[in-house]
Structure 1
Amino acid sequence: MAAPSSDSEPAPGPTPQEPSGHLGRIPGHALWSGALWSGHSAELAKVAAIDLALFAGHLLLYPTGILPERVPTPPRAPADDTLGTRRATDPPDQGRAHPPVLLLHGFVDNRSAFTLLRRSLLRHGWTRVQALNYSPLTGDIRTAAAMLGPHIERVCAESGHARVDIVGHSLGGLVARYHVQCLGGDARVRTVVTLGTPHSGTRAVPALAPHPLARQMRPGSPVLEELAAPAPGCRTRFAAFWSDLDEFMIPTGSARLEHPDLSVANIRVRGIGHLALPVHGSVAAEVRRALSGAGPLPDAIDAA
């Protein structure tokens, strides 16, 4: 999660693959000015108030997420190197348990951002859900993505599952995507769900922000160029949730994932902002659907 700021560079106009949205047509320098509020004051005031309340609540939870999470190891499931298919010798109820889920937070955040989503998954049948922290000293998405590999291997070995699923909020989605696309992570990652992730870059992040991670989230950064490169044969499926009122995405459609080589479902979330995506009940329900593979995902959901 990156802090919003003024930006004199205008946002690009909509393209056939980039939904404009009412925020997508507004220059970055106007986002936090009166020019924005003139046409959508009621919607944006509501979203801003909710996000501010969520931010205040999250500040209280933040200290609880500083230390790494201790996850008890559930009973080991039978290993299956066929990546998701049942073996002929398995009893009928084996092989149906959900794969482990790893949760990756956003910029300058920690695992406490997923308190509610983690609880939702555990209540609905997931037995191993772990929210990870990556160090705020990490200055490169590539480094954070490389650190995922050994952890995923350890989770697979302990759980007996051949693959895992990942849910990433904001920057966490780019970390997961880089691991899958550029580091061979698609061999172990079955599904990646992203929540408000700047897949094509966001202009809400200042071009000269001091933190290198912030610069990597700008449109046209070398990391985003790597992610836009061909990824033939990628075995991971993606679900990208994007909000039409996400104040950290300029334009709002930048949180959609458009790539010809990837299997992607883009889900528009109406009526909430960036910080509400990992805590809203309607979003959590569709995240569970995306992870379980229980039918097609909707093109849009109303979370207002």
Structure 2
Amino acid sequence: MKSRIAILIPGIFDRGRSMQRMQGALERSGFVARTIRLQTNSGWYGMEPMAAQLRDLVEEVTREDESCALVGFSMGGIVARYYLQRLGGAEKVHKFIALSSPHFGSLWAHLLPYKGGRQLRIGSEFLSSLNRDAAVLEGAAPVSIWTPYDATIVPRTSSRLPIGNTYQVPVSLHRWVPQNPKVIDIVRTELAGALEDPDGR
């Protein structure tokens, strides 16, 4: 059964401030929005321990027969993908939305000399592996939202998932993407539409 629970996953070094405006908008629209405060959110130990934290929160806030939605910003979208594709999360999630996430890596990740940085680099085996079996995401009706002005995800087109619906929204700065009114409206509409889909769980 689809719940109205939406878990928001912030990006690198972010404890959730970037998602506050979206969380408030979703709650006013009748969703139960939760922002996860990831530990080791620098990515120092890689995406895996953060994805495990996400798995634990999903199990905590949903009943056994319920699914929820995930909205991941930047690195948070990759954390969500690892949970969905490697930790069985696809069975618990009916909607996945990625906001400016480096699905095919970013040049800036080469400046991060630790595990998470290596995972988020262009051509990394970590991302290549996720993209080879991106079809696992199909049950979560994936959506990616990206801006052509992104100077953090380079190349900018890396923010487009290989499957699902894609929206291009002209947001001036990467960090403003989850706060942009148009982006928030798309997220709200996509989450509401997923609840109405008769073919979903």
Q: 1:108 to 1:257 in 2, by over 3 A?
A: same
Q: Does 2:4 correspond to 1:99?
A: yes
Q: Does 2:22 correspond to 1:117?
A: yes
Q: Does 2:52 correspond to 1:146?
A: yes
Which has the larger share of strand?
2
Distance in 1 between the 2:7 and 2:151 partners? 26
Kept in 1, the 8 Å contact 2:69–2:94? The answer is yes
Query: Which of these residues, 119, 132, 153, is aligned with residue 249 of structure 1?
Result: 153
Kept in 2, the 8 Å contact 1:105–1:170? The answer is yes
Distance in 2 between the 1:232 and 1:168 partners? 18
What residue identity is the alignment partner of 2:116? L
Distance in 1 between the 2:79 and 2:29 partners? 26
What residue identity is the alignment partner of 1:279? Q
Query: Which of these residues, 98, 103, 107, is aligned with residue 203 of structure 1?
Result: 107
Kept in 1, the 8 Å contact 2:40–2:50? The answer is no
Distance in 2 between the 1:242 and 1:179 partners? 21
Kept in 1, the 8 Å contact 2:171–2:180? The answer is no
Kept in 2, the 8 Å contact 1:121–1:129? The answer is yes
Give 1:210 shift: 2.5
Q: Does 2:121 correspond to 1:218?
A: yes
Give 1:117 shift: 0.6
Ranges in structure 1 where 5+ consecutive residues have no aligned partner: 1-82, 85-97, 296-304
2:198 aligns with: none
Q: 1:253 to 1:233 in 2, by over 3 A?
A: closer
Kept in 1, the 8 Å contact 2:25–2:184? The answer is yes
Distance in 2 between the 1:111 and 1:118 partners? 10
SS of alignment partner, residue 82 of structure 2: helix
Q: 1:208 to 1:276 in 2, by over 3 A?
A: closer
Task: Look at both structures and tell me which one has the larger radius of gyration over its CA atoms.
Answer: 1
Give 1:232 shift: 4.8
Moved over 6 A (4+): none
What residue identity is the alignment partner of 2:158? S
Distance in 2 between the 1:231 and 1:253 partners? 17
Query: Which of these residues, 131, 135, 142, is aligned with residue 39 of structure 2?
Result: 135
Give 1:225 shift: 1.8
1:110-162 deviation digits (Å, cap 9, x = unpaired)? 11211111111111121x211111112651112211222222111113xx761
TM-score normalised by structure 2 residue count = 0.88
Q: What is the identity percentage for the equivalent residue pairs of Structure 1 and Structure 2?
A: 28
Q: 1:118 to 1:208 in 2, by over 3 A?
A: closer
Residue correspondence of structure 1 range 1-304 to structure 2 within 5 A? 83-84=1-2, 99-126=4-31, 128-136=32-40, 139-157=45-63, 162-205=66-109, 207-232=110-135, 234=137, 235-259=139-163, 264-293=164-193
Give 1:212 shift: 2.2
Distance in 2 between the 1:142 and 1:226 partners? 14
Give 1:185 shift: 0.6
Give 1:178 shift: 1.1
Give 1:272 shift: 2.3
Distance in 2 between the 1:114 and 1:150 partners? 20
What residue identity is the alignment partner of 2:46? D
Ranges in structure 2 where 5+ consecutive residues have no aligned partner: 196-201
What residue identity is the alignment partner of 2:172? I
Q: CA RMSD in A?
A: 2.0
TM-score normalised by structure 1 residue count = 0.59
SS of alignment partner, residue 179 of structure 2: coil
Distance in 1 between the 2:97 and 2:194 partners? 15
